Chain A
Amino acid sequence: MTTTRQHSDELHLALYRKMFQIRRFEEEAARAYAQGKIGGFLHLYIGQEAVAVGAVAALEPTDYAITTYRDHGLALARGMTSRAAMSELFGKVTGCSKGLGGSMHFFDAEHNMLGGYGIVGGHVPLAVGTAFASKYREDGRVAIVFLGEGAVSIGDFHEGMSLAALWKLPIVIVVENNEYAMGTSLSRTLSVEDVSLKAVGYGMARDRFFANHVLEVHDRIGEAIERARKTSEPTLIEVRTYRFRGHSMSDPGKYRTPAELEERKQKDPLMVSRAELEGKGHKEALEKIEAEIEVEIEDCVRFADESPEPGPELLEATTYKGAFAR
């Protein structure tokens, strides 16, 4: 299936802008990491931007979104500012989680981005829980959860699927199949490579497609979101995608060939969108977007650099909500 609906170029430009913002944000994050400004792990989303951006564009602001540690893209797509995001990577108090969460734990409650989680698959029940709450309150919100194909083998993925289907909860479970679970290729992690088939065992709706075009992602995931909202039915979607970088900054990605990487870069959804929009006469608009994002990225790095670090007084205050005696 290709893009079936007609979309305005304005929407496409807006999605391109988001994808470009994420791409440039992460390129700068990689640079800052190499300079030692960012500690710990840093898992980049470069190459996969079309998934989060296309999906989020089909959500309402009140819908809930949860993901794994590869969370920068979703956070920015959901509306987190690049300042809050970069400051979090720098461990600064101005970061989205006050510098306490770090790269793998981006949270933005205001935009209903309910976190990046390091125990992959363990976050699936959490997302199902937000869908449960929505159904309990009858407030019409939909939940969306992103995970990699490496996480579908873990028990919690199945428990989440099982309960979402049993209780007919309004959730879309998106498996971003980028073909490598850390450094292990698909054929070595899954006996059946069509992840979407796992929906069948739970009587759940399913879909499966390549994230070649952000508008197609928008439409295909949008259909599932609509189903969740209208009939409170969950959907499992396997989106085939590809990450251009290693699993994290410490991974040179030597388990794949340069030829494979080069071939996939030819299908980079950012380039696909850019070429299409340029062909439609939007060259100036694209250049304007790109120039604005460059300014924004430069600003967010400076802001993060100059921001203060969190103090120890934050630690107890963020461990418990209520008064607490040790």
Chain B
Amino acid sequence: MSVMRYREAVRAAMIEEMERDERVYLIGEEVGAYQGAYKVSEGMLERFGPKRVIDAPITESGFTGISIGAAMVGLRPIVEYMTWNFSAVAFDQILNNAAKIRQMSGGQLHVPIVLRAPNGSARQVGSQHSHAMEHFYAHVPGLKVLAPATPADAKGLLKAAIRDDDPVLFMESETLYNMKGEVPDDPDFVVPMGQARVAREGKDVSIIAYGRPVHVALEAAAQLEKEGIDAEVVDLRSLRPLDEQALVRTVQKTHRAVLTYEGWPYGGVGGEIVDRIQRLAFDELDAPILRVTFRDVPMPYNAKLEQYVLPQPDRIADAVREVLYRKG
């Protein structure tokens, strides 16, 4: 075990996999000479050279498409977007090519690519840099979508993604890059996709989250503990595939669920989770499932309003009290 930051864990996964497999390369804006817009790829250019750590001009659609093409013929690209917000201009490549080529070709071709970037809210970066893009992509069959909440998961899940033969979208929470945690050193440490993790055991209510909001949920749980409410926090880690059995298990235990995640309330991942729980564990539920998300507006710049829009521990705690019928 080593203690490292989330960004270092992402970097360690890339370095280990690039050393293991020379078909793996990293491409994106500022990933090389600049050392990464968020310093995730620091030192990698020096280590692997410009053939494998490739600075691309501002051409998200272009370098995404090129990487999909390269993956179709046997390379294993890692594409870094400066942020997932900018992937919107490459949406066609991801939706219409990465996700569909396998089926369109009758299974003749496949696309082993990893697309990764910071995702979701940051601090006062305004409405065009605060999107939670996982909701758009998790909708699409042919894609896999991961969202680690800890440095260990960041490393283990990214290694699984790089080794996977399908397109995997890797959602790094922008505000977690400095978070420290213990990370296994084993070069073959991988976290399998599609397995949720219980971040905190509890018996009264399940708070289901992924990425940064896992930590917000843990804060809420600590707050609720003082009121004698014992909340379980489930970290999904993987949105597609989704660990529906973990959802069933936690609801069987607590009979109440609150979902929290970044992104708007209309549609999205939350609707999917509610659907799975009500279909698979309807009889276990003692209350409607509530969701704590972004408020239903574009992200404002103003700091106080930004905090108002984000899921906060007290908003989660309120929702928990409501599903426990303990609200005022």
Contact = CB atoms under 8 A, between A and B. Distances in A.
A109 B108 contact: yes
A20 interface: no
Contacts of A97: 104-106, 108
A308 interface: no
B125 interface: no
A125 interface: yes
Contacts of A132: 66, 69-70, 75
B237 interface: no
Interface in A75-109: 95-101, 105, 107-109
B73 A130 contact: yes
A130 B69 contact: yes
A126 B65 contact: yes
B105 A107 contact: yes
Nearest to A127: B69
A314 B103 CA distance: 9
Nearest to B112: A321
Nearest to A161: B62
Interface in A267-326: 314-315, 317-322, 324-326
B105 A105 contact: yes
B59 interface: yes
A107 B164 CA distance: 23
Contact of B72 (A114, A118, A136): A114
Given A129-B72, A136-B25, A117 B65 contact: no
Interface in A123-155: 123-134, 136-137, 155
Given A122-B93, A122-B97, A126-B65, A317 B107 contact: yes
A159 interface: yes
Contacts of A162: 57, 59, 62
A126 B97 contact: yes
A319 B97 contact: no
A114 B110 CA distance: 11
B65 A133 contact: no
Contacts of A95: 106
A116 B320 CA distance: 52
A109 B104 contact: no
B209 interface: no
Interface string B212-224: 0000000000000
Given A97-B105, A130-B73, 17 more contacts: A66-B69, A98-B106, A101-B103, A101-B106, A105-B104, A114-B109, A115-B105, A123-B97, A125-B66, A126-B68, A128-B66, A132-B69, A136-B75, A319-B102, A319-B141, A325-B242, A325-B243
Interface of B: 25, 51, 56-57, 59, 61-75, 92-93, 96-97, 101-110, 112, 141-142, 144, 164-166, 194, 241-243
Interface of A: 64, 66, 95-101, 105, 107-109, 114-115, 117-119, 122-134, 136-137, 155-156, 159-160, 162-163, 166, 314-315, 317-322, 324-326
